Every structure is written in C-alpha cells, then in structure tokens.
Amino acid sequence: MVTRRFVGIAVLVAMAGGALFVSHAIAQEPSKPGELSRTLEAANLSPESKVLVRAKGVEAVRAGVAEGDVAGLIQRGVGRGIQPAELVSLLDVVVRAKRQDLPVGPVLDKVKEGVAKRVPPARIVEVASRLSGELATSRDLVRRAEREGIRAEAAGERQRATEAVASAIGRGVPPHEMTDLSRQVARSGERATMSRLELGAQVTGDLVSMGLSPHDASQTVGAALSRGLSRRDIEGLRERLGQELKSGGSAEDGAKRLREAIRSERPEDRGERGQDKRSDKPEKAEKVEKMEKPEKPSKVERPGR
C-alpha cells in the first residue's frame, strides 16, 4: 500500500517536472519579429528615431489599424525622407480616425497618396483630418438614415454608403442636401437600402463635378430615386445630363428638363431599363430540350448459306 502511494507521488513529480521543462523550452524559443519590427529594423533611422516611430506604430496597431498598413506607411515615409516627428503625425491622424470608429481606409489612402506625391506632411495631415471630419459627418448621417428605415442588406454596405456620402460632401454637397437625399431613399419602400443611398451619393457627386449646383444635383438624383429608377437608369443620369449640356443650355436648365422628363416618364417608356434591380440582370436562356435519339433499326437476319 505504501509502495503504491510512493510510486503515485513519484509519477506526479515527474509529470510536473516535465511540464516545467516544456514551459521553460517554450519561453526560451525566440519569438519571430512582426512586420512592424522588421520594417523598423531595416529603416535608415537613428535608434532614437526608431523608438519614437515604433511607439506610435504600436499605438496604431493596438487601436486596430492593420500592422501591414502601419508598416507600409512607415516604409513609404522613410523612403520619401519624411522626418520621424512628421511621420508620427501622419500615423496619428490615422489612429484618431480609427478611434472615432470611422472607415480608416480612405484616410490611410489619402495619407499614402500625399506621401507618394511628396506633399508636405503638414498639408497631408490637414487634408486627411478634413476627410476624417467628412467621414464623421457621413457616419452620423448614415446612422440616422438607418433609424429612418434604410437597411443594409449585405456586409459592408453600411461602410460603403458612409464612404460614398463622405465623398459627395468632399465634392461640395452640403450635409443637409445629403440628408434630404437619404430621406428620398427612406421613402422608397422596398428599395430603401444602403446600396441605393450609396448609388445616390455617388451620382450626386458626379453631377456636381459636371457643373450642377449641389441642390440641383441632389434634386435630380432624388427624383430618380423616388420614381424607383433602376441602378442602370440612375447611373445613366450622367450621360443624360451630358446630352443636355451638348444642346448648349446651362447646367441648371438641363437638370430641370431632366427632372421633368423623369417625373413624366411611365415605366413602359423606359423600355428595357425597368424599375427595379432585376431589370439589370440578363434573363436566363431557356434550356434547349435534348432530342431523343432515334431507335436503332433491328438487324435483319441473314439467311444461312
């Protein structure tokens, strides 16, 4: 009895010792440096500068910015000769956008674009910060639109709508015009979706770029949305306005005629353009029925020789 107890204790001690040995071995195994560490090790910076940039880079990663994006921005910045303190300010504007729960992609892209074009870092920060403000306004507008009945039908629709509305605001469309446009979408029943809001914002911004005032642009797109025009029809507003402008009139007169045409059109007048998204999809060809193979003729027995 005593012997069995002694053996059991010995086994437990051996197991504990083995676990300690394995744990020690794992602890001694060198950890692989991440992408951020590898980028900084290869960067042509002084040790003090590396410490400064590393601290902000780690802060960005902990805030939720992808490590690859952080490392890529540092690599580009160092390659363009941006000073460490200025590089930290570029990273900081991205971190602030992420902490505000904004889509960080557009802000990061704007910073990268500025670095690639050798824009002064202070100017990059100014432009990226303004974009963050537009995204914040857009995010609030999209949240309000969702409360008013506009729904997201697929993953990513809400973010894409936020980015599209922010882009329209950045192109000169006031937030109140975008709010009116979102209400047009909200009143469209089954078509009250984030993808329709995204589309409306994109085309409104495009019409402004063609010379329309923001009010005329949002009113024209709003008329198309309220009439239930298909995606193809709404995207076609750009071409239709272009045709109006070629006739020699002003952009405002062209938009007015375009709105009148939209409001007076009957569904059948639009032909193949249809009223809903299904009209954009080609109809499936009917399956061709396979012809039955003719029966083989029975062999004629040959008379024996």
145: Cβ–Cβ under 8 A, 6 or more apart, which residues?
161, 182, 183, 185, 186, 197
Q: How far is CA 11 from the centre of its chain?
A: 59
In this structure, how many other beta carbons lie within 10 angstroms of the beta carbon of residue 244? 19
Average pLDDT of the residues of the chain: 82
Q: Is residue 101 part of a domain?
A: no
The proportion of the chain whose per-residue pLDDT surpasses 90, expressed as a percent, equals: 66
In a domain, 168, yes or no: yes
- Where does residue 81 fall: left (phi above 0), alpha (psi -120 to 50 degrees), or beta otherwise? left
Domain annotation covers residue 63: no
Q: 116 lies in a domain?
A: no
Structural tokens at position 102: 């904004």
**What local confidence, expressed as pLDDT, does residue 250 receive?**
86
| Separation of alpha carbons 127 and 114, rounded Å | 9
Whether the predicted pLDDT of 275 surpasses 80: no
Per-residue pLDDT of 231-243, as tens digits, reads 999 999 999 999 8
- Res 173 pLDDT > 90: yes
Whether residue 127 lies inside any domain: the answer is no
66 class by beta-carbon count within 10 Å (0-12 exposed, 13-18 middle, 19+ buried): middle
If pLDDT is split at 50, 70 and 90, which confidence band does 246 have? Answer: confident
Identify which has the larger pLDDT, 25 or 85: 85
pLDDT value at 120 more than 70: yes
Domain that holds residue 240: 148-277
Q: What is the mean pLDDT of residues 252-277?
A: 71
Q: For residue 165, is it within any domain?
A: yes
End-to-end CA distance of the chain: 102
Task: Classify residue 31: in a domain, yes or no.
Answer: no
Question: What pLDDT, on a 0 to 100 scale, did the predictor assign at position 193?
Answer: 95
Mean pLDDT of 256-269: 80
SS (H, E, C) 35-76: HHHHHHHHCCCCHHHHHHHHHHHHHHHHHCCCHHHHHHHHHH
Band the pLDDT of 114: cuts 50, 70, 90.
very high
Looking at residue 34, its amino acid is G
In a domain, 125, yes or no: no
| Token pair listed for 138 | 């857009």
* CB neighbour list of residue 244: distance below 8 Å, 6 or more residues apart: 253, 254, 255, 257, 258
H or E stretch including 110? helix 104-116
Read off the pLDDT of residues 185-218 as tens digits, 9 standing for 90 and up: 999 888 999 999 999 999 999 999 999 999 999 9
Interatomic CA distance for residues 269 and 272, integer angstroms: 9
- The pTM of the full predicted model, rounded to 2 decimals, is 0.74
Per-residue pLDDT band at 269 (split at 50, 70, 90): low
Q: How many domains does the chain have?
A: 1
Q: What is the mean pLDDT of residues 2-14?
A: 46
Q: Which residue did the predictor score with more confidence, 121 or 285?
A: 121
| Mean pLDDT value of segment 243-259 | 87
Residue 151 DSSP SS3: strand
pLDDT at position 251 is 87
Confidence label for 270 from pLDDT (cuts 50, 70 and 90)? low
Q: Which two tokens stand for residue 179?
A: 């709010």
